[in-house]
Amino acid sequence: MATVRLALANLPFPASPEAAVTDAIAAIGEAGRAGARVVCFPENFIPGYRTASRHMAPPEAAFLEDAWRQAAVAAGAAGVAVVLGTERVVNGRHRISTLVANADGTVAGFHDKVQLDPSEEGTWEAGSERHVYTAGPLTFGLSICHEGWRYPETVRWAARRGAQVVFLPHFHEAEPGGFRPTAFADPANTFHEKAILCRAAENTCFVAGVNYASAGSPTTSAVARPDGTLAAFQPYGVAGLLVVDVDLTEATGLLASRARHY
Domain residues for the domain of 185 are: 3-257
Whether residue 166 lies inside any domain: the answer is: yes
CA distance 65 to 143: 23
Tally of domains within the chain: 1
**Average pLDDT for 90-114:** 97
The CATH number of the domain holding residue 58 is 3.60.110.10
Q: For residue 38, give the H/E element and its range.
A: strand 38-40
Record the pTM: 0.97
Chain length of the chain: 262
Whether residue 262 lies inside any domain: the answer is: no
Whether residue 161 lies inside any domain: the answer is: yes
| Cα→Cα distances 136→5, 17, 133, 160, 205, Å | 11, 31, 10, 19, 17
pLDDT at 139 exceeding the cut of 60: yes
DSSP code per residue over 1-13: --EEEEEEEE-BP
Whether residue 106 lies inside any domain: the answer is: yes
CA distance 181 to 170: 17
The per-residue pLDDT for 1 is 66
User: What's the pLDDT tens digit per position in 173-219?
Assistant: 999 999 999 999 999 999 999 999 999 999 999 999 999 999 999 99
Whether residue 88 lies inside any domain: the answer is: yes
Give the whole-number percent of the chain exceeding pLDDT 90.
Answer: 95
pLDDT at 125 exceeding the cut of 90: yes
Whether residue 10 lies inside any domain: the answer is: yes
Whether residue 93 lies inside any domain: the answer is: yes
Q: What is the mean pLDDT of the chain?
A: 97
Q: Cα 190 to the chain's mean position, in Å? A: 19
User: What's the pLDDT tens digit per position in 218-257?
Assistant: 999 999 999 999 999 999 999 999 999 999 999 999 999 9
